[in-house]
Structure 1
Amino acid sequence: MAQDLTPSPAPASAEAPPTDATAGDGAPAPRAATPMDSRLLWIAPALGAIYGLLIRLGAAWFGPWLRSHGYTHEVAGVMSGGFLVLTPVVMGMLTIHARRREGCSWLFACFGPWIATFMMLLGSMVTLLEGAICVVMMAPLFLGLSSLGGLLMKLLQTLWDLRGRFVGAVAVLPLLALLVEGPMAQADAWQSIRQTVVVEAPPARVWQEILDARGIRPEEMPHTFIHLIGVPRPVEGLHRQRADGEVRESRWERGVHFLGRVTARTEQREIAWRYEFAPDSFPAGTMDDHVVIGGRYFDLGETRFLLTPLDGGRTRLSIEAHYRVSSSVNLYAVPVAALLGEDFVQALLALYRQRAERPDPRPAALARAGD
């Protein structure tokens, strides 16, 4: 009788070979990438950016809305720790949480939130919530803190199975911080900048250029970072004698104008003034409200020019400028203001040096100034 060569079925108790759903050790195997995963690489940051824009709107409208409903305490605004610190941290956390099912690497947890940050900052400019000056000032802080939030969420996901209630509680933290931070007094930090340049011209020549700086052309100002991000350039600065004393009338681009009341003057040696700003000194749209000079968060004090004669008909020209920064995040705001202020002062020194060293177009006026 012929032998049956048909293989017998495997016993029911035999272990099945690994499939796509399981690995050899029984653990779930990594799922193959799909087009949806690629889209989620952008969807997750987009959700973080939308959240950041909503909190930006809330930081501006939350206080007035509460006051209209009888809330009498002060509510912190955009220049607060609740917005500038907590918002980017939570943006990073939400960006990584949105990819919890697909998972992400530690590298993405660190730099993925940057996509959300750039989208949020760009959206703030497109919707006119912020101008270029504020966006540039906020960008380094937001990028660093969003990375911190992303890494923190990645760490928490490796330790616990986070539920929706936890994420919801985290999302409202910036708005709650605005309420708590509001009654706290903002710190006023008075700072000073002193820069010096040597001018190949006598003090009388330099003095004349300081008192009569008219017709400043854009090409006379060096290319500086502060003007690149949108701060108007000076157009003229003229000293006039009025009934109430000597003043310096300053005009900048885009209709900016203000006074400097002279507080000290030693002919061809020293002159100082303290700024005075009118309600229309900065027309709407010329500078962001959060960095407008003479406003709640930033102000200029006294500016002093010092001229020291040197050998060979040269002059050491120094500018000493005092300014105030007022915010809940002065640890970050003060060095940023110092960076921008030094950039502006260096541009002024370069302007006066260039003008004083060129052939004098006003010999008669200069001769009178030297008498």
Structure 2
Amino acid sequence: MKFVFAAAFAAVYGLVIRLFFGSANGLMEIMSVTFLFLVPVVIGFLTIILMPAAKTTSGTAAFFKPWLTSLIVLLVTILLKIEGSICWIMIFPIFATFAGIGGLIAYHVRNARSGGPNDSDENKWQRPNTLNVSLLVAMPLALGLVEGEKASAPQEMVIQRAVILNAPAAEVWQQLTTSHAMSAPTSKMSVSALLGFPKHKSTTLDARSVGGKRTAYYEKGLYFDETITQYQPARLLVLRVDANPNAIPPAVMDEHILIGGKHLDILEDVYELESLPGGGTRLTLSSRFYINTPFNWYARLWAHYLMTDILQSELELVESKLPRRA
């Protein structure tokens, strides 16, 4: 029963802190070192410090039990629509790991005070110093106010994918510059689709020239307006992406990974065509975008993985529109 109380108390603490950070009007950031690294440490520490010593007799248990608390926070915030599932899938590995580190810290502090993991006097651990715990739980709020957006740093990235198509460049170009609907869904499931990113439905283009407007429509009401900035028939198509975050339905993308928001924006897509011997074409699609977080080293891993998957899906869509040849 005390194990349930410890996990529930630590989870409630995590939810309260999340609400504080989310309602601070920019004074405190969810996408911050404080929230994603320090808050889970405190959650893990509370999970173990409030638990009877007999329930946690090894470092392994102290590391993994806070993962359950983190999972409770994850499920509750998704059910209450406080956070989106895509965002949690990305941050949960870090959140749970640092919660485990907090659990290990608590485990070693307990052993140091009680004289070791086999000490039979549990009262020392069941009545932790109230002042110390109060200071610990208040620390993320204080540091969150100090950090704000100061730790965020924008970083541009370019992701590129290519495919060899069994069609002349002129034919491929025709597909790129023609309004079309998506072909029938295939059984192949992409990683981005598994994570909830909407599938491409159709594309419209109003003019085949510089200044022409192209709109890419996705499921769930998501769409992106694009403007042609370079146009070289059968060779090069450069599109400036004009994402409007206010037009993206809240149910489609979590605010922290919102395209066009302050943490992520796609800037430009470039299609390059190269004629190959034998009548084929190499089609290369590259996307230039930026990320803006205090932990770009981690965000970059997810951005690279997901954008590569999305670009590959776009190339496969073009390929599916070409006439089949023997």
Q: Could you say whether these structures have the same fold, taking a TM-score greater than 0.5 normalized by the shorter chain as the test?
A: yes
Is residue 228 from structure 1 mapped to residue 180 from structure 2 by the alignment?
no
Contact 2:222 2:249 in 1 (8 A): yes
1:100-120 alpha-carbon deviations (Å, 9 max, x no partner): 443512221011111111111
Residue identity (%): 30
Alignment match of 1:93 (pick from 17, 20, 45): 45
Shift of 1:281: 2.8
Q: Counterpart of 2:226?
A: 260
Q: 330-339 vs 320-329, which deviates more?
A: 330-339
Q: Counterpart of 1:7?
A: none
Contact 1:237 1:250 in 2 (8 A): yes
Q: Counterpart of 1:174?
A: 140
Give secondary structure in 2 for the equivalent of 1:212. Answer: coil
C-alpha separation in 2, matches of 1:279 and 1:116: 32
Correspondences of 1:44-83 after superposition (within 5 Å): 44-61=6-23, 63-64=24-25, 75-83=27-35
Is residue 117 from structure 1 mapped to residue 70 from structure 2 by the alignment?
yes
Contact 2:183 2:320 in 1 (8 A): no
Contact 2:45 2:103 in 1 (8 A): yes
Contact 1:221 1:350 in 2 (8 A): no
Alignment match of 1:350 (pick from 313, 316, 325): 316
Is residue 197 from structure 1 mapped to residue 188 from structure 2 by the alignment?
no
Q: Counterpart of 1:158?
A: 111
Is residue 102 from structure 1 mapped to residue 54 from structure 2 by the alignment?
yes
1:76-104 alpha-carbon deviations (Å, 9 max, x no partner): 22111111111111111111111144351
1:141-168 alpha-carbon deviations (Å, 9 max, x no partner): 1121111111111112122365222222
Shift of 1:121: 0.4
Contact 1:234 1:253 in 2 (8 A): yes
| TM-score normalised by length of structure 2 | 0.89
Q: 208-217 vs 110-119, which deviates more?
A: 208-217
Contact 2:266 2:288 in 1 (8 A): yes
C-alpha separation in 1, matches of 2:252 and 2:184: 17
Report the AA paired with residue 74 of structure 2: L
Alignment match of 2:259 (pick from 284, 288, 293): 293
Give secondary structure in 2 for the equivalent of 1:312. Answer: coil
For the aligned residue pairs, the C-alpha RMSD in angstroms reads 2.1
Give secondary structure in 2 for the equivalent of 1:102. Answer: helix
Contact 2:269 2:287 in 1 (8 A): yes
Is residue 316 from structure 1 mapped to residue 282 from structure 2 by the alignment?
yes
Shift of 1:257: 2.2
Contact 2:212 2:227 in 1 (8 A): yes
Q: 233-242 vs 299-308, which deviates more?
A: 233-242
- Unaligned 5+ segments in structure 2 are 114-123
Shift of 1:261: 0.8
Is residue 337 from structure 1 mapped to residue 289 from structure 2 by the alignment?
no
Shift of 1:48: 2.1
Contact 2:243 2:265 in 1 (8 A): no
Shift of 1:127: 0.7
| TM-score normalised by length of structure 1 | 0.78
